[in-house]
């Protein structure tokens, strides 16, 4: 699958139905040797601190991706596999 085929797809958490963002507003972390995707980084749009200009991000591990459809990417972020929140 090409990166261009992923861009523009909405990322949905199947655990709670939450909309996490759209791929295209995101960054990918790649394994340089294998070329595999390790994580998706999405701007955290619900953060209180974004009012003060501090950008927060969700880091979603690629193993949480369950399905890539024609319009959405389904991820399973339950209690065992929560996204990390970080300032970059």
Place of tokens 């949480």: 64
The answer on pLDDT for 81 being more than 60 is: no
- Contact present, 85 and 58 (Cβ < 8 Å): yes
Task: Read off the CATH number of the domain in which 82 is found.
Answer: 2.30.30.240
Q: For position 47, what pLDDT does the model report?
A: 53
Enclosing domain of residue 47: 3-86
Per-residue pLDDT band at 3 (split at 50, 70, 90): confident
Q: Are 24 and 5 in contact (CB under 8 A)?
A: no
Read off the pLDDT of residues 17-74 as tens digits, 9 standing for 90 and up.
Answer: 999 888 886 688 889 999 898 998 887 766 555 556 667 788 899 999 999 999 999 9
At 11, is the pLDDT very low, low, confident or very high (cuts 50, 70, 90)? very high
How many structural domains is the chain composed of?
1
> Which conformational region is residue 54 in: left (phi greater than 0), alpha (psi within -120 to 50 degrees), or beta?
beta
Helix, strand or coil, per DSSP, at residue 21:
strand
């Amino acid at each position: 699958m090409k990166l261009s085929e992923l861009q523009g797809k909405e990322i949905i958490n199947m655990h709670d139905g939450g909309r996490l963002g759209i791929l295209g507003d995101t960054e990918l972390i790649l394994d340089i040797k294998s070329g595999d995707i390790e994580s998706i980084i999405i701007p955290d749009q619900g953060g209180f601190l974004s009012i003060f200009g501090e950008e927060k991000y969700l880091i979603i591990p690629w193993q949480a991706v369950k399905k890539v459809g024609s319009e959405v990417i389904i991820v399973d972020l339950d209690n065992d596999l929560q996204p990390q929140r970080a300032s970059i």
